[in-house]
Amino acid sequence: MTAPAPLLHAQDDEYEDLLSLWSDLEAGLSVLLARPRQAQDFAAKVRQFDQWLQDLVTHDIDGSLYLMFQLAATSTVGYSASHALVCGTLCHIMAREFGLPENERNALVRAALTMNIAMTRMQDELAVQREQPNAAQKEMIGSHPVQSQALLEELDITNDLWLDLVAQHHQRLPERTPLQQLSPVDRLTRILGTIDRYAAMISPRKSRPGRSATDSVRELVGKDVQERDEVGLMLVRTVGLCPPGTFVRLDNGDIAVVLRRSEKPNLPLVASVVERGDKVLSAPRLHQTAEGPPRVQSALARNAVTVDLNHRAMVRLGLYAAQPRQYLATQPAGL
């Protein structure tokens, strides 16, 4: 179905602000990570950004996922901050799904935001570098967890769980052991490590294109039932095989963007933006794939799609399709 024309030209509303708020959060985090020693009370700044992130996700998790994945693919502030924000947001969502106590949740999300702080500039450079890392860069990649921990201590971070998690966030722990049987730091390392690898896989770099979200999740989850990652499985159940903000090809030949999740991970609400033959649609066409065809045929990496989207309109469109009465109640009279 096609959305009513006025929807795509609605006046400012809460969703106009949501995109700006996510962009502002990403920009602010970028400044903090690039110049941490210049921040007055670094720990307080991280807590402020963490609370900001929580507020945005609570406002609308699907809209937040859409904007986060879209911003991550087209970020103008640098890979490091974009990656940190994706990891922090997904860790916040995973913490809630796993029912982590508040102290573990806080350490997990704040470690996600700061785990690469010692190599922020180099991480941005690597993202636009076509060559593989040189010897000096490889050495920095290998040592940055410990260096990041040391920098955070210099910045007066005293939470041992946060610091230990940063120091070991690249350690690969056995995935057969249930999370609840692990120590807090190892449990959080498993969660953060999976999220870190997933976010890195879907993000494009000059040296390689980003993978589709589906391919990334499937690699994390694994084919061997005995080896399946508990965190990867929860990631699939929570954000879906094709999260909001990612692109898919439908079985009718259209290219669509995912707007919202459904109760089934592989049957999201999507909006066709390019039809068969690579013709860009003048207005998006909504499809509730959980209710019937067309269905998702395959996921697409972001670099496979060249169409520019009006993100504010797309987020509103998803809300309209999911909760039309609630959406119409928020619109100015006459629309």
159-210 pLDDT tens trace: 999 999 999 998 888 777 889 999 999 999 999 998 988 887 765 544 444 4
Residue 72 lies in a domain: yes
Residue 185 lies in a domain: yes
Cα distances (angstroms) measured from residue 89 to each of 7, 57, 228, 233, 284: 28, 8, 23, 17, 28
Residue 307 lies in a domain: no
Alpha helices in 155-212 (DSSP H): 160-167, 184-202
Q: Determine phi and psi for 323, rounding to 5 degrees.
A: -140, 70
Residue 223 lies in a domain: yes
The total of structural domains in the chain comes to 1
pTM: 0.83
Q: Is the pLDDT of residue 12 over 50?
A: no
What is the pLDDT at residue 216? Answer: 55
Strands, E assignment, 251-307: 255-260, 269-275, 279-288, 296-300
Residue 29 lies in a domain: yes
Residue 32 lies in a domain: yes
What is the pLDDT at residue 228? Answer: 62
Q: Using an 8 Å Cβ cutoff, are 77 and 270 in contact?
A: no
Residue 322 lies in a domain: no
Please give the residue range of the domain that contains residue 184.
5-240
Interacting residues of 256 by C-beta distance below 8 A, sequence separation 6+? 247, 248, 249, 250, 270, 271, 272, 273, 287
Q: Is the pLDDT of residue 81 over 60?
A: yes
Classify residue 331 as exposed, middle or buried by CB count within 10 Å of its CB (0-12, 13-18, 19+).
middle
Q: What is the CATH number of the domain that holds 145?
A: 1.10.3210.10
Band of the pLDDT at 259, cuts 50, 70, 90?
A: very high
Residue 304 lies in a domain: no
Q: Using an 8 Å Cβ cutoff, are 309 and 70 in contact?
A: yes
DSSP state of 97: H
Alpha helices in 183-310 (DSSP H): 184-202, 213-221, 230-239
DSSP state of 5: G
